[in-house]
Amino acid sequence: MKKSVFFGALAASALVAGAASAQTLAEVQDRGSLRCGVTTGLVGFAAPDANGEWEGFDVAVCRAVAAAVLGDGSAVEFIPTTGSTRFTALASGEIDMLARNTTWTFSRDVDLEFEFTGINYYDGQGFMVREDLGVTSATELDGATVCIQTGTTTELNLADYFRANGMSYEPVPIETNAEAQQQYLANACDVYTTDASGLAATRAAFEDAAAHIVLPEIISKEPLGPLVRHGDHAWGDVVRWSLNALIAAEELGITSANLEEMAAGTDNPEINRLLGTEGSLGEMLGLSADWAKNAIAVGGNYGEVFDANIGPDTAIGLSRGLNAQWTDGGLLYSPPFR
Amino acid sequence: MTAVTDHSQGDEGFRLSQLLYDTRYRSVTIQIIALLALIAGLGWLLNNAVSNLAAAGQDFNFGFLGSVAGYDINQRLIEYDSQMTHGRATLVGLLNTLLVAVLGCITCTVIGVIMGVLRLSPNWIVRQLSAVYVEAFRNVPVLLWIVLIMGVMIKVPPQPRAFRGDNPDATMSLWDSVAITNRGIYIPRPTYEAGSALVVGVFLASIVAIFAFRWFAKKRQEETGQILPVFWVGLGLFFVPAILTQLVMGSPIGLEYPELAGFNFSGGIHLRNSLIALWIALSLYTGAFVAENVRAGILSVSKGQTEAAASLGIRPNRIMNLVVLPQALRVIIPPMISNYLNLTKNSSLALAIGYMDLTGTLGNITRNQTGREMESVLLLMAIYLSLSLSISAVGNWYNNSVKLKER
Amino acid sequence: MSDTHANTVAFVRETQIPQSPPPATERGIVKWLRENMFSSVLNSILSLLSIFFIFMLIKDLGPWFWNSTWNAENLAECRELNSGACFAVINERWPQFFFGFYPAEERWRPVLAFLLLFPALAPVLFDKAPRALLVVTLLFPFVAYWLIWGGSIAFPLAVLLGFVLAFVIWKALAKTQPTIALIVSVLVLVLYQLVVGGAGLVENILMGILGNPEDGPALLAFEEVESRNIGGFLLTLILGITSISLALPIGILLALGRQSDLIIIKYICVGFIEFIRGVPLITLLFVANVLLAYFLPPGTTFDLILRVVIMVTAFAAAYLAEVVRGGLAALPRGQYEAADSLGLDYWQAMQLIILPQALKISIPGIVNVFIGLFKDTVLVSIISMYDPLGIVQPILADSDWNGILWELYGFVALFFFIFCYAMSQYSRYLEQKLRTDHR
């Protein structure tokens, strides 16, 4: 349909109505690919490699949803968005879902009319400084120059935090993480602030990561998760439960190694329901019975995805922390598959 | 321009086909069709917008301009903090746009005139250098120049902490008054104490006196032919009285020097990287276009004019001032207006380097934090449109006042 | 004569003295230097300053170029190998600079389209090129679309058929009813493309013959490439060339509308031109990126490249309209009156008398607008498209190339310089060629 629009316009006639907005699932299935909004480049979360192949933690969520819906984890068009273009892209229907370390807030949910379909990373805003600056706490940052990404919640948190502590600062607003990195490395700002996970990812890309420290203060709650447009509940459910499937899979001990074996049928009825050998959960979502199996098959369960992209063994080296399963004292808690 | 065909004789009354074939009616038909098409098109767009907004559960109002902005702006010409409204933030942004536009217009004119004249210089190497300048800046996108110069500003000058210590790596320039760092340039700020009003008053008075003297000198020249040294007297009047008053009053106008304190320099005026990069890039880029206009303007004055003036015994620099420039200006001014307009519009590229102009505040942060896309973008366009229209109105007025009065 | 002299004068030279060379200051390089660089005190100072400036430039930038590295895995390795520029990044990433994320094995397609551009442009740009090449020019948009975006040839073919149909109808009627012919053919075109779904129908029929690439192997079908994956200089060229070729006719029509006697048309054109010229391009791109979705029927999805092309075209058309208007205004009133007195109607007068002259006058301005448009395409990087400037972002984010800057920007600047400089030189050539007055 898209291409017919292209030449239609050359003929000065550029309008072909598509399907109504409330049928994203059908649209994705018709198109045969998922349009997923990601960041323009944050190592570990979403960044294209030299071949243009996208990889990262957020990317894995997109791939899982694509696999659940289409049975193919590579049937995703990744659409890079900046902090300030992401909501527009989602609202205008340019993308089907947004997985761009986006914080779930009241106003984004209620006023901007988006539906957050869960939390894939519990984060908080932190500060990164050079070690030789001699700063050990964010309360010593009075008068500092702070690099910050515009159009994000971090911008508002920062203003609140410095105001509440009676400190002054000089904000240097920046559009993308890559530019922020440039400015910070050139010492055009003393501090770089964004989500702690983003700081870790950014620092991992530095030549001498050890020369930079993340200050202990976490000044906000930043529950990051994928989101879709309000009002299309069927689609919202698909994205929500695809994410939950990854989380539940870890809890239930399903890994990419034993997936096939488990999918053949186990004694645990919840595993059977999840992997589609029992019940009709897939049908209820309007997907195939093995939807969750497909989603897990792409990159493994939540824990595997985490370890592969941002875990302790990667350059980014984030520990699970709050993002451990509830059984391990973390906050990850998937509702039951029943 | 429409050919008038002869239909007047033998009027057989109105037929429907005349609407298409009779040139008298055809124009009306075409216009009405065009108007209807336009109205239908606009109505269709509006209808879509209304139904889309309704479907998204949004309304169309500018109430968000009155709510708390919540974000800070680094460069503010008027009082602003994060607890003020989005409307106020927009105003701060607008003033920043105007600031860089005015600064840019001044410097691009200076650069452009110098380079334009140098391109016609008899000196080969100077001519080549200015040609290289013009071609380099005209043929590379201004956005690229902006980010490139921003890169230079960030990477080349020393960091503020290089100034620290007993034996610092970097020192302040101009007798410790100006600090050039990779976070911007800090220059002294004038401070006004008791009695400074008098100094300012004297200064203003001497400016009035300069104009009065010029008027007098001109009258004198017309009456007696005697030429008074306007330039030197003007120069003296400009400096001497104000400086004398300043000394006599015991220096009421002082300078606050920037000092290294904490992480950054404090005190003085902080010219941020983003402002400087944008200012330099816009000035150099637009300056290249101005240079071409100036060159074309000077070339448009025929050589006969210069020769005629020379044969009257007028000296070369006076030929330039009295004969060539007044005529060249008529060719130079109209494109200059559009250059100023372009510079103002190009200042919106500030977005790329985080200069908080109108696009950065209203068009980016406010649009994003409130989610009022339709309202913000429309308001943004409306403000730029009125800005451009006022610039061209002023420009046209000036152009009319200098152009040849033809009777 | 010589005899008398021989008696009265002691010595007479009978042969001419051989010409002695001019004094050292009046010849060769010294003369040139003296006249061109040191003719006065001021000039000498300026020359010395310039030479100093050039010397400093070479001193600073020279080693950076001489000591550059072309082969390295990452920036750290670059720094180890040599002290100068690290062009290894260009060496590694050049495919992205040229094609964006276009699939590697399919890159020959845009290259072929680019090569086809030359025969397509030749008859338009140079009047010595064979006229037969015009067929290539007319077919080029369809072939290029097919090559770059891929898919079955059925679709561009079906659209092309609509144009052919409209052309045939126009040709058949034009002799007798020029106005009606125009209206009917445009109507046929619009109806064919839109309302009847003729294009879709024909496309399906053609697909039936050739086979649908989505179902299996098909004749004359390429792998489809999404607009999102098109980037780099390829994107710049697509945006630039499409917008330029669309903007010219629209701009001329707008200019004619603005000069027209028809008051309503005139004010519609004035309003459009002044509005577009009054706002920065970046706000129009915001509209393309943000607002267009609101102004179209719910659910309409639109290719982002197409949205940007529409906005850039509108922008360039408004500027072109002003340039062409200048040309129209510069024509003496007598030309219009002469056309009228010959009994030409409005379109004939415009086509045969007014526009050829007005466009000739406006050529430098038109080329300047084109250069401006070409440069303005980099603004799409602000709405996160991967044009040459946008493609720098993921490279900066890559941990291998962290901290590299000048090499990347310099490369992009060089590309634009070459293209824009070539365009301005072409405009000089055209000015010379079209100069019919003898000076």
Chain C residue with minimum CA distance to B353: C382
* Domain-located, residue C65: no
The CA distance from B273 to B184, in Å, is 4
* Domain-located, residue C259: yes
pLDDT confidence tier of residue A22, bands split at 50, 70 and 90: low
Mean pLDDT of chain C: 82
Backbone CA torsion sign across B81, B86, B90, B91: negative
The CA distance from C406 to A186, in Å, is 14
The CA distance from A319 to A312, in Å, is 6
C154 in A contact zone (CB under 8 Å)? no
C161 CA to chain B: closest CA distance, Å?
A: 27
* Domain-located, residue C416: no
* Domain-located, residue C249: yes
> Which chain B residues are Cβ-neighbours of A158 within 8 angstroms?
72
Helix ranges restricted to H, C126-231: 134-149, 154-174, 178-190, 198-210
What is the 3-class SS of A159-219, one letter each residue? HHHHHHCCCCEEEEEECCHHHHHHHHHCCCCCEEEEEHHHHHHHHHCCCCHHHEEECCCCC
Mutate one of B154, B182, B263, B380 to test the A interface: name it (highest A CB count within 10 A).
B263
Chain A residue with minimum CA distance to C142: A7
Could you give phi then psi for residue A14, rounded to 5 degrees? -120, 40
Subunit contact B20:C51, Cβ cutoff 8 A: no
Subunit contact A87:B368, Cβ cutoff 8 A: yes
Token pair for A106: 């009241």
In this complex, which of A21, A142, A150 lies closest to B364 when CB atoms are compared?
A: A150
> Which chain B residues are Cβ-neighbours of A182 within 8 angstroms?
151, 154
The CA distance from B329 to A284, in Å, is 77
**How many pairs of residues across A and C have Cβ atoms under 8 Å apart?**
147
Provide the 3-class DSSP secondary structure of residue A129.
strand
Provide the 3-class DSSP secondary structure of residue A35.
strand
The CA distance from A105 to A314, in Å, is 30
In order of A284, A303, C371, the CA distances from A273 in angstroms are 12, 20, 62
What's CA C215's distance to the chain center, in Å?
A: 39
Token pair for B268: 């003085």
C226 in A contact zone (CB under 8 Å)? yes
A130 in B contact zone (CB under 8 Å)? no
Please give the domain boundaries of chain B with CATH numbers for all domains.
89-163+272-362+398-406 (1.10.3720.10)
C346 CA to chain B: closest CA distance, Å?
A: 6
Judged by CB atoms within 8 Å, which residues 274-333 of C form the interface with A? 289-290, 292-294, 296-304, 306, 310
Subunit contact B1:C336, Cβ cutoff 8 A: yes
Q: Where residue C357 sits, what CATH number does that domain have?
A: 1.10.3720.10
Angle subtended at Cα A173 by Cα A169 and Cα A174, rounded to the nearest 5 degrees: 140
C5 CA to chain B: closest CA distance, Å?
A: 47
The CA distance from B254 to B195, in Å, is 11
What does the pLDDT look like over B286-325, one tens digit per residue? 999 999 999 888 888 888 888 999 999 988 778 888 888 8
Please give the domain boundaries of chain A with CATH numbers for all domains.
27-120+225-328 (3.40.190.10), 124-221 (3.40.190.10)
User: What crossing angle do the helices spanning C406-434 and B124-138 adopt, rounded to 10°?
Assistant: 100
B142 in C contact zone (CB under 8 Å)? yes
Expressed as residue numbers, the domain containing C310 is 229-389
* Domain-located, residue C371: yes
The CA distance from A307 to A319, in Å, is 9
DSSP summary character for residue B352: G
Could you give phi then psi for residue C378, rounded to 5 degrees? -65, -15
Query: What string of DSSP letters covers C102-149?
Result: --GGGTHHHHHHHHHHHHHHHHHH-TTS-GGGHHHHHHHHHHHHHHHH
At B308 the pLDDT is 92
Subunit contact B73:A171, Cβ cutoff 8 A: yes
Q: Do the beta carbons of residue B57 and residue A230 sit within 8 Å?
A: yes
CB atoms within 10 A of CB A1: 13
The CA distance from A98 to C209, in Å, is 40
B345 forms beta bridges with none
The CA distance from A130 to C280, in Å, is 39
What does the pLDDT look like over C34-61, one tens digit per residue? 777 777 788 888 888 889 999 998 988 8
> Residue holding tokens 């442009």?
C121
- Which residues contact residue A3 at a Cβ distance below 8 angstroms, ignoring those fewer than 6 apart? C149, C151, C155, C303
Using alpha carbons only, how large is chain A's radius of gyration in Å? 21
Could you give phi then psi for residue A172, rounded to 5 degrees? -115, 100
Token pair for A54: 């996208």
Judged by CB atoms within 8 Å, which residues 353-372 of C form the interface with A? none
> Which chain B residues are Cβ-neighbours of C60 within 8 angstroms?
none
- Which residues contact residue C47 at a Cβ distance below 8 angstroms, ignoring those fewer than 6 apart? B123, B125, B126, C37, C38
Provide the 3-class DSSP secondary structure of residue B199.
helix
pLDDT confidence tier of residue C139, bands split at 50, 70 and 90: confident
Angle subtended at Cα B400 by Cα B396 and Cα B402, rounded to the nearest 5 degrees: 120
Q: How many domains does chain C have?
A: 1
* Domain-located, residue C246: yes
Q: Do the beta carbons of residue B87 and residue B65 sit within 8 Å?
A: yes
* Domain-located, residue C140: no
What does the pLDDT look like over A209-261, one tens digit per residue? 888 988 888 888 889 999 998 888 889 999 999 999 999 999 999 998 898 88
How large is the ipTM? 0.84
B37 CA to chain A: closest CA distance, Å?
A: 14
* Tens digit of each residue's pLDDT, chain B (407 residues): 444 444 444 455 667 676 666 767 777 887 888 889 899 999 998 888 888 888 777 778 888 888 888 888 888 888 888 889 999 999 999 999 999 999 999 999 999 999 998 888 888 888 899 999 999 999 999 999 998 998 888 888 888 877 777 777 777 776 777 888 888 888 888 887 777 788 888 889 989 998 898 898 888 888 887 877 878 888 888 888 888 888 887 777 777 888 877 777 877 888 888 899 999 999 999 999 999 999 888 888 888 888 999 999 988 778 888 888 888 888 888 888 889 999 999 999 988 888 989 998 998 888 888 878 888 999 999 999 999 999 888 888 887 887 666 55
The CA distance from C369 to A248, in Å, is 59
In this complex, which of A84, A163, A187 lies closest to B82 when CB atoms are compared?
A: A163
> Which chain A residues are Cβ-neighbours of C382 within 8 angstroms?
175
> Which chain A residues are Cβ-neighbours of B273 within 8 angstroms?
188
The CA distance from A38 to A34, in Å, is 12
At C37 the pLDDT is 75
